[in-house]
Amino acid sequence: MIKIVESPREGMQGVERFIPTASKIRFVDQLLKVGFHTVEVGSIVNPKIVPQMVDTLKVIRKMDYSASRSERMVLVMSKRGATEVGGMDEITTVSYPFSFSPSFLLNNMHATLDQALLTSDEVVNTCLKHGKKAVVYISYAFGNPYGDPWSIDILLDWIGKLRKMGIRVIPLSNVSLEIDAGLITRVFSILIREFPDIEFGLHLHTGSKDCIQKIDAAYASGCRRFDTVINGYGGCPLSGQELMGNLSTQNLHSFLDRKRIPHGLDPEALREAATIANEIY
- Give the pLDDT confidence score for residue 49 in this predicted structure: 85
- Give the pLDDT confidence score for residue 9 in this predicted structure: 95
Q: Is the pLDDT of residue 1 over 90?
A: no
% of the chain with per-residue pLDDT over 70? 96
Contact assessment for residue 6 and residue 228, using Cβ atoms and an 8 Å cutoff: yes
Mean pLDDT, the chain, as a whole number?
94
**C-alpha closest to that of 148 among 92, 91, 88, 105:** 105
The pTM (predicted TM-score) of the whole model is 0.95
* pLDDT tens-digit map of 145-204: 999 999 999 999 999 999 999 999 999 999 889 999 999 999 999 999 999 999 999 999
- Give the pLDDT confidence score for residue 234 in this predicted structure: 77
What are 54's strand-pairing partners? none
Contact assessment for residue 119 and residue 79, using Cβ atoms and an 8 Å cutoff: yes
In terms of phi and psi (left: phi > 0; alpha: psi -120 to 50; beta: otherwise), the region of 137 is: beta
* pLDDT tens-digit map of 206-263: 877 789 999 999 999 999 999 999 999 876 655 444 456 899 999 999 999 999 999 9
Question: Domain range holding 70?
Answer: 3-280
* pLDDT tens-digit map of 51-104: 999 999 999 999 999 999 999 999 999 999 999 999 999 999 999 999 999 999
Q: Is the pLDDT of residue 12 over 90?
A: yes
In terms of phi and psi (left: phi > 0; alpha: psi -120 to 50; beta: otherwise), the region of 106 is: alpha
* pLDDT tens-digit map of 14-35: 888 999 999 999 999 999 999 9
**C-alpha closest to that of 172 among 213, 134, 138:** 138
Side-chain half-sphere CA neighbours of 194 within 13 A: 15
Q: Is the pLDDT of residue 48 over 90?
A: no
- Give the pLDDT confidence score for residue 179 in this predicted structure: 95
Contact assessment for residue 210 and residue 189, using Cβ atoms and an 8 Å cutoff: no
Cα–Cα distance, 278 to 281 (Å, whole number) = 5
Contact assessment for residue 211 and residue 175, using Cβ atoms and an 8 Å cutoff: no
Give how far Cα 224 sits from Cα of 2, 236, 248, Å.
5, 23, 16
Count of the separate structural domains present in the chain: 1
Side-chain half-sphere CA neighbours of 218 within 13 A: 26
Fill in the DSSP letter of residue 174: -
The total number of residues written for the chain in this structure = 281
- Give the pLDDT confidence score for residue 113 in this predicted structure: 96
Phi, psi of 156, deg, nearest 5: -60, -40
Burial (CB < 10 A; 0-12, 13-18, 19+), residue 91, is buried
Q: What is the CATH number of the domain that holds 94?
A: 3.20.20.70
Fill in the DSSP letter of residue 222: T
